[in-house]
């Protein structure tokens, strides 16, 4: 099965003539404009942006990282980054959910821990139905598992299969997902810890609509409760014994995450920058008799913003092209996110009161971009790791 976006997606990887790459860029620009037109509505309502995903599905973009032999585009990181940036510039909650889709699918078919029939089903669901998947990991008691600990969510082994019970919070995409990859532990003496695959229609699932955050409000990151949810035994798809844990992501997975996640917030900063440029060009105070854009002060501010975004673009492009080692993944996330936040802050400072008015999108961009700090790895973890690496390297060179 093929989609209209297949040729366009591969054009962006320079596998087709230049005119197709131009068509792809134009398609993404149109998607940005379409998503931006309804972004305020989704921000105010907090509802799942179903129409946005219907649009992306019509262009084959929900299966972008599904392999070609299963009907997807088999896109590489550079193309996925390009799509995420365009979507985020229009509506970042949609982009964050899409990031999770791309991360789950880009290596799924190589993960032999999953039974083949489940790998194929999840992939073909994405291609044919636009089915979305995400991992549910954070819990009320433990918080994020990135800082260690065992999940309270338990998979109890029965004759009929696994019986799953527990609670997950910050479950991005909740109402719009078809598949949940639930981080849980088995009831064995040496528990099997990892992802248990659950279809949304399985009895015993309840979504509690409690997501009411400052920003990224349309991610629908609600609490999801599992009460005696019965799934087949082979749906323990990515588990390992607690005594011999396996990393969630390999080096390539870390690199993908370090590019795609901050690309969401860089896209927000790009949207803020464009609004500011239009505002400064159009605002003509009577005592000045010329647009604000004619003043050196505002030219300098926009120059600062563009320099921050230039640094982000250079860093993300280099990482997506494989020119940065995965050991720097945390630093990429920290740098791009920090630059994006500062760029939007500068736009707010330059715009003054209009920048904080809800009738303008800039205040929404500020609320959204601040959410970048929450994602793993958080700044203290990323910088601590970089510091430890520096001291380790020093000690090695002294031997």
Please report the pLDDT score of residue 19 as a whole number: 57
pTM above 0.85?
A: yes
Instruction: State pLDDT tens for residues 235-268.
Output: 999 999 999 988 878 889 999 999 999 999 999 9
Contact between residue 151 and residue 185 where contact means Cβ atoms under 8 Å apart: yes
Kindly give the confidence (pLDDT) of every residue in the chain, 399 residues in length, as a single tens digit, with 9 standing for 90 and above: 344 444 344 434 434 345 588 999 999 999 999 999 999 999 999 999 999 999 999 999 999 999 999 999 999 999 999 999 999 999 999 999 999 999 999 999 999 999 999 999 999 999 999 999 999 999 998 867 766 789 999 999 999 999 999 999 999 999 999 999 999 999 999 999 999 999 999 999 999 999 999 999 999 999 999 999 999 999 999 999 999 988 878 889 999 999 999 999 999 999 999 999 999 999 999 899 999 999 999 999 999 999 999 999 999 999 999 999 999 999 999 999 999 999 999 999 999 999 999 999 999 999 999 999 999 888 999 999 999 999 999 999 988
Residue 109 CA to residue 130 CA, distance in Å, equals 17
- For residue 374, give every residue at least 6 positions away whose Cβ sits within 8 Å of its Cβ, in sequence order, or none: none
Structure tokens at 150: 């065992």
Residue 267 CA to residue 389 CA, distance in Å, equals 30
Within 13 A of 328's CA, how many CA atoms are on the CB side?
13
Instruction: State pLDDT tens for residues 125-153.
Output: 999 999 999 999 999 988 677 667 899 99
Helices assigned H by DSSP within the chain: 5-11, 18-45, 50-58, 77-90, 92-105, 116-129, 251-282, 296-320, 329-351, 362-370, 379-398
Ordered by where they begin, the domains of the chain are 4-130 (1.10.540.10), 136-241 (2.40.110.10), 251-398 (1.20.140.10)
- For residue 367, give every residue at least 6 positions away whose Cβ sits within 8 Å of its Cβ, in sequence order, or none: 214, 215
């Amino acid at each position: 099965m093929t989609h209209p976006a297949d040729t366009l997606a591969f054009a962006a990887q320079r596998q087709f003539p230049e005119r197709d790459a131009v068509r792809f860029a134009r398609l993404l620009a149109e998607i940005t404009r379409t998503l931006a037109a309804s972004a305020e509505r989704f921000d105010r309502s907090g509802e799942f942006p179903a129409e946005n995903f219907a649009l992306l599905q019509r262009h084959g973009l929900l299966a972008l990282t599904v392999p070609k032999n299963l009907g997807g585009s088999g896109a590489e990181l550079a193309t996925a980054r390009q799509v995420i940036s365009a979507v985020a510039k229009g509506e970042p909650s949609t982009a964050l959910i899409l990031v999770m889709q791309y991360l789950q699918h880009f290596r799924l078919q190589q993960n032999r821990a999953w039974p083949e029939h489940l790998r194929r089903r999840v992939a073909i669901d994405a291609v044919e139905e636009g089915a979305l998947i995400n991992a549910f990991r954070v819990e009320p008691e433990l918080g994020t598992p990135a800082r260690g600990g065992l999940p309270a969510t338990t998979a109890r082994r029965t004759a009929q299969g696994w019986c799953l019970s527990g609670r997950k919070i910050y479950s991005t995409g909740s109402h719009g997902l078809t598949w949940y990859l639930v981080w849980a532990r088995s009831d064995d003496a040496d528990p099997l810890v990892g992802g248990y695959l659950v279809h949304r229609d399985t009895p015993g699932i309840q979504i509690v609509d409690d997501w009411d955050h400052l920003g990224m409000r349309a991610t629908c990151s609600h609490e999801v409760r599992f009460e005696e949810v019965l799934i087949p035994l082979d749906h323990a798809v990515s588990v390992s014994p607690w005594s011999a844990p396996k990393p969630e992501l390999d080096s390539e997975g870390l690199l993908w995450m370090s590019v795609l996640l901050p690309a969401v917030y860089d896209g927000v900063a790009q949207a803020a920058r464009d609004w500011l440029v239009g505002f400064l060009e159009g605002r003509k105070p009577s005592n000045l008799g010329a647009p604000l854009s004619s003043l050196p002060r505002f030219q300098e501010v926009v120059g600062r913003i563009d320099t921050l975004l230039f640094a982000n673009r250079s860093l993300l492009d280099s990482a997506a092209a494989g020119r940065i080692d995965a050991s720097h993944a945390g630093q990429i996330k920290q740098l791009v996110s920090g630059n994006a936040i500062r760029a939007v802050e500068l736009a707010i400072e330059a715009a003054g009161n209009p920048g904080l008015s809800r009738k303008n999108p800039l205040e929404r961009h500020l609320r959204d971009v601040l959410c970048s700090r929450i994602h793993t790895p958080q700044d203290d973890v990323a910088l601590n790791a970089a510091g430890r690496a520096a001291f380790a390297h020093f000690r090695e060179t002294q031997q």
